[in-house]
Amino acid sequence: MTRVDKQPAFVLHRRAFRDTSLTIELFSQQYGRVAAVARAARAPKSPFFGLGEPFRALEVGWIRRGEMATLVSIDPLERSFRLVGRALWCGLYANELLIRLLPRDDPEPELFQAYARVLSMLSDERHQAHALRQFELALLTGLGVAPDLSRCADAGAPVEPGLYYSIDPVIGPRPVAGPQSGFPGRVLLALADGTRLSQQDARKARVLMRQLIDCQLDGRALKTPALFRESGA
């Protein structure tokens, strides 16, 4: 049996379990994604009541004998994020990416900080697209599958802002003749160094990053984008 105390974590997803309990997917700072049971968390008199909501920053403790941990303490931290409207859908998308792509028990402290950063930016609609693109790239980098967007795949030559490139999800950019078959080099460079993009280039960056994400999903469809479109939000 192992015991962990006072671990910073966020709730990614929860679902009802038995009469009053919850199963919770946590994203923790030092232990990565952890599946846990919060016993009696739906009982009004439980000290865990109301603390299993997504995007809530917590300090948690658990004991573990197998794959599933049992929570023994949950304390809210000041850094919590209330997301509504479009920001909520963006947050759910980030959560779904972590659940679908990040293996359990894979410590990713830098990705944990990137996740906290994206949540802090989503409430301002002006920053949502930039925040999501940077989080997507941080996730792929943490998984070890992000191509170098600043250099060409074949010769290693620097990407030029005025040229166009196709993106091989495994080895990176390759020069192409024009915009019909590729992305502007300036978009690749902006993604690589975290520079904000114009609205037009932001749309291209979204398409590019979805290509890279879809490669890792290996044919599995994400639920959040479809639900977002159906909601009319």
Does residue 82 or residue 201 have the better pLDDT?
201
The alpha carbon of 116 is separated from its chain's Cα centroid by a whole number of angstroms, namely: 10
pLDDT digits (tens, 9 = 90+) for 138-174: 999 999 999 999 999 988 899 999 999 999 999 999 9
Q: What is the pLDDT of residue 233?
A: 38
Q: What is the pLDDT of residue 77?
A: 86
Strands 69-76 and 32-38: parallel
Neighbours of 194 (CB within 10 A): 11
2-76 has which fold? OB fold (Dihydrolipoamide Acetyltransferase, E2P) (2.40.50)
Neighbours of 57 (CB within 10 A): 16
What is the average pLDDT across 124-148? 95
Report the side by side order of strands in the sheet with 172-176: 172-176, 164-168, 183-184
CATH class, 86-231 region: mainly alpha
Q: What confidence category does residue 81 fall into, taking pLDDT thresholds of 50, 70 and 90?
A: confident
∠ CA 229-232-233, nearest 5°, is 95
In terms of Cβ atoms closer than 10 Å to its own Cβ (0-12, 13-18, 19+), residue 16 is exposed
Give the start-to-end residue ranges of the domains of the chain: 2-76, 86-231
pLDDT digits (tens, 9 = 90+) for 5-63: 999 999 999 999 988 999 999 999 999 999 999 998 899 888 888 888 889 889 999 99
Strands in 65-163 per DSSP E: 69-76
Paired residues of 2 in beta bridges = 64
pLDDT digits (tens, 9 = 90+) for 174-183: 999 988 889 9
Q: Is the pLDDT of residue 190 over 70?
A: yes
Quickly tell me which residue has 């639920």 as its tokens: 223
Q: What confidence category does residue 230 fall into, taking pLDDT thresholds of 50, 70 and 90?
A: low
Q: What is the pLDDT of residue 79?
A: 66
Per-residue tokens: 121? 């930016």
DSSP string over 24-52: EEEEETTTEEEEEEETTTTSTTSTTTT--
Contact indicator for 137, 145 with CB cutoff of 8 Å: no
Instruction: Work out the mean pLDDT of the chain and round it to a whole number.
Output: 91
Q: Is the pLDDT of residue 232 over 80?
A: no
Buried b (16+ CB within 10 A) or exposed e, 195-225: eebeeebbebbeebbeebbebbeeeeebebe
